[in-house]
Amino acid sequence: MTVPSPSRTKTFELSSAHDWWRQASVYQIYPRSFYDTNGDGLGDLPGITAKVPYLKNLGIDAVWLSPFYPSALADGGYDVDDYRNVDPRLGTLADFDAMTAALHDAGIKLIVDIVPNHSSDRHEWFREALASPAGSPARDRYIFRDGLGQDGNEPPSDWQSIFGGSAWERITEPDGTPGQWYLHLFAKEQPDFNWDNEEVRKDFLTTLRFWADRGVDGFRVDVAHGLTKHLPETLPPEIEMPGMASEHGQHLFWDRDEVHDIYAQWRQVFNEYDPPRMAVAEAWVHPSRRARYASSEGLGQAFNFDLLTADFNAAEFRSSITKNLAESNATGASSTWVFSNHDVVRHSTRYGLLQEPESSQIPVAETGAPMAGGARDGKAWLLAGAPEHQLDRDLGLARAKAATLLMLALPGSAYLYQGEELGLHEAAEIPDAQRQDPAFFRNPGVDIGRDGCRVPLPWNAEDSAFGFSTTDPHLPQPQWFTKVAAESQEADQQSTLNLYRKALSRRRMLQGPEELRWIEEENPQVLHFARPGGWHSITNFGDTPAPLPLGLALLSSGPLAGDGTLPPATTVWMTC
Ligand code: GLC
Ligand code: CA
């Protein structure tokens, strides 16, 4: 099957200034855990600048930088105090400019995370709201309600926050009396903005221009499906509300049609620039409703998390790839692929679990807990104290490398997460007292949280904090990092790091039009597709060797047998 694209003819030149993002390899940096240059245990922006040669050598096209704004870190920086500044612990605006310049000099674009659904409770607007009376313009920028029951001491509804516990928090009025409640779909330190408020809308346009003027090439839009809310006088109980991924856009706050008016306005701002700024939506919506986020009148691209939630299984992979290519064909956007990010258990660990966690039956988008990962994420393994006998680390890594090599052959953008190029597993050994994720604190015994994929990177095996910092890192690193540190992988041609480097550089050379043709194989465990120019990717999802077609092997995710077969859990790129 060939999946052509109406706009493809002009799209495949990667060098095309406007379309650079369509088939980019984007590397996500979680800045506080990347590299620390001033010895405070927290990664910083000069740390990214210092590692630009590493990024260039890796062969990525762009960096997506998770929030680096001033923040109390109630939610890893997704609680923003000031949208137009840098967290002083991470650097200054001058450091930001130096980092951007260094990336650009190395030919790497920069995408920043923008968090428009909520601010932090330390944002000056929220403080102003607390200091102002009920019904004031300052309160109107957020979502305040009177409580129910006698004295208003019950929350306005029984809605649960994504991180657990009530989605409403009561404030103390300026005169010291217990007062109104505000909505926070995430942690209580993350009050939701009221997007019906014109000032909120205008302020975000200012923020987008502020970063675009500084040379940022694009934006990753956090919780893009959450902004607009329709809250009637009487709020329905949670049980009467449809799931987050409702097909018809009828939810009171997720994925409402009006949200696209906002992105249409943003698109106008993006298009004021040359080249236009790109954007990618994090929108956990029904697949049929993803297209609008990805449209060229809107954000232009949207994540699909289908592969991230799929098992290591040929049929599941094939069907998500086919669906997503058809979808991007219809919108004219390019597809996105992702296995790991700062919200989910690392894919090498997910794929190495010998027992399916019970939660694997729950479709992610309907759990209402997208960032906690939900399905198939190894949460159950972590909660059970991460018993090693339930995890086959080698198998997990072999599968992860096979999956990644397959992904890097697909048309569209590949989103990679820092540390996956080292083959990192989830760090399970974090003592409760050192955990940071609100998902852990708000769900005792239910959710282990996301800290295990946010542990600072191991740069070398000898130095303190594995070369990350001269002091204790903000999250403890496991001892097995000795074996996977970046420097230790340099010399080993078979290392995961060198596989990523080879794959990323070949991908650049081989990349052509966004087309894919499936080649039918007799073995149902094998997925084989071809890209224009005779670039073939063949993956064996099974646990026995599979016959290989004749051709020249360019790169494989693991050793090839040399007997014309493809070993289990291996991908090979060939020209046939
Ligand atoms: C997104 C982020 C996640 C964050 C949440 C609230 O899902 O990826 O890390 O906790 O939004 O901002
Ligand atoms: Ca630092």
| Residue 277 within any structural domain of the chain | yes
pLDDT band at 428 (very low <50, low <70, confident <90, very high): very high
Tens-place pLDDT, residues 530-573: 999 999 999 999 999 999 999 999 999 999 998 999 999 999 99
| Residue 510 within any structural domain of the chain | no
The answer on 163 and 40 residing in a single domain is: no
| Residue 5 within any structural domain of the chain | no
Cross-sheet strand order for the sheet of 552-556:
517-518, 526-531, 535-540, 570-575, 552-556
For residue 287 the two structure tokens come to 């697949």
Last residue of a domain, one of 504, 534, 550: 504
Residue type, 194: N
Read off φ and ψ for residue 429, nearest 5 degrees: -90, 40
Give the C-alpha separation, 377 to 349, whole Å: 8
- Number of helices followed by number of strands (H, E) in the chain: 17, 17
Residue 115 has pLDDT above 90, yes or no: yes
39-43, 388-392, 393-397, 399-403: range with lowest mean pLDDT: 388-392
366-375, 413-422, 451-460, 509-518: range with lowest mean pLDDT: 366-375
pLDDT score of 383: 86
Residue 369 has pLDDT above 70, yes or no: no
pLDDT score of 355: 65
13-17, 107-111, 192-196, 460-464: range with lowest mean pLDDT: 13-17
The answer on 334 and 413 residing in a single domain is: yes
Q: Which domain holds residue 174?
A: 124-183
Q: What is the mean pLDDT of residues 476-497?
A: 97
Tens-place pLDDT, residues 300-358: 999 999 999 899 999 999 999 999 999 999 889 999 999 999 999 999 999 999 865 44
Residue 360 has pLDDT above 50, yes or no: no
| Residue 7 within any structural domain of the chain | no
Last residue of a domain, one of 504, 526, 555: 504
The answer on 466 and 437 residing in a single domain is: yes
Residue type, 267: R
CA 284 to ligand 1: nearest atom: 7
User: Which secondary structure element, helix H or strand E, spans residue 430, and what is its range?
Assistant: none
What residues contact residue 540 under an 8 Å CB cut-off, 6+ apart? Answer: 402, 523, 525, 526, 546, 566, 567, 568, 569, 570, 571
Give the C-alpha separation, 173 to 488, whole Å: 57
The answer on 445 and 342 residing in a single domain is: yes
Q: What is the mean pLDDT of residues 183-195?
A: 98
Give the C-alpha separation, 221 to 225, whole Å: 9
pLDDT band at 365 (very low <50, low <70, confident <90, very high): very low
CA 187 to ligand 1: nearest atom: 6
3-state secondary structure of 176: coil
Residue 269 has pLDDT above 80, yes or no: yes
Neighbours of ion ligand 2 (CB under 5 A): 36, 38, 40, 42, 44
The answer on 237 and 349 residing in a single domain is: yes
- Provide the sign of the torsion angle of the four alpha carbons 413, 418, 423, 427, taken in this order: negative
| Residue 524 within any structural domain of the chain | yes
Ligand with the closest atom to the CA of 36:
2
pLDDT band at 243 (very low <50, low <70, confident <90, very high): confident
Q: What is the CATH number of the domain that holds 64?
A: 3.20.20.80
User: Which secondary structure element, helix H or strand E, spans residue 488, and what is its range?
Assistant: helix 486-490
Share the mean pLDDT of the chain: 92
pLDDT score of 197: 98
Ligand 1, CB cutoff 6 Å, lining residues: 75, 78, 115, 186, 222-223, 282, 342-343, 371
pTM for this predicted structure: 0.94
DSSP E strand boundaries for 465-543: 517-518, 526-531, 535-540
3-state secondary structure of 547: strand
The answer on 223 and 153 residing in a single domain is: no
CA 341 to ligand 1: nearest atom: 8
Q: What is the CATH number of the domain that holds 175?
A: 3.90.400.10
Query: Among 33, 221, 364, 371, which is best to mutate for testing ligand 1, by the most ligand atoms less than 8 A from CB?
Result: 371
Strands 526-531 and 517-518, bridge-based pairing: antiparallel
| Residue 8 within any structural domain of the chain | no
Query: Among 75, 113, 221, 342, which is best to mutate for testing ligand 1, by the most ligand atoms less than 8 A from CB?
Result: 75
Is 429 within 8 Å of 360 (Cβ atoms)? Answer: no
Residue 270 has pLDDT above 90, yes or no: yes
The answer on 485 and 386 residing in a single domain is: yes
Tens-place pLDDT, residues 501-536: 999 999 999 999 999 999 999 999 999 999 999 999
| Residue 266 within any structural domain of the chain | yes
300 DSSP 8-state letter: S
pLDDT band at 366 (very low <50, low <70, confident <90, very high): very low
Residue type, 191: P
Q: For ligand 1, atom 4, name the residue with the nearest CA.
A: 78
Tens-place pLDDT, residues 345-359: 999 999 999 865 444
Residue 376 has pLDDT above 60, yes or no: no
The total number of structural domains that make up the chain: 3
| Residue 509 within any structural domain of the chain | no
The answer on 213 and 103 residing in a single domain is: yes
pLDDT score of 287: 85
Separation of CA 191 and ligand 1 centre (Å)? 13
Q: What is the CATH number of the domain that holds 542?
A: 2.60.40.1180
pLDDT score of 356: 55
Q: How many CB atoms lie within 10 A of CB 357?
A: 21
Give the C-alpha separation, 462 to 485, whole Å: 9
The answer on 56 and 149 residing in a single domain is: no
The answer on 422 and 317 residing in a single domain is: yes
3-state secondary structure of 528: strand
Is 73 within 8 Å of 79 (Cβ atoms)? Answer: yes
Ligand with the closest atom to the CA of 41:
2
The answer on 469 and 397 residing in a single domain is: yes
Separation of CA 469 and ligand 2 centre (Å)? 8
Give the C-alpha separation, 34 to 474, whole Å: 11
Residue type, 393: R
The answer on 479 and 520 residing in a single domain is: no
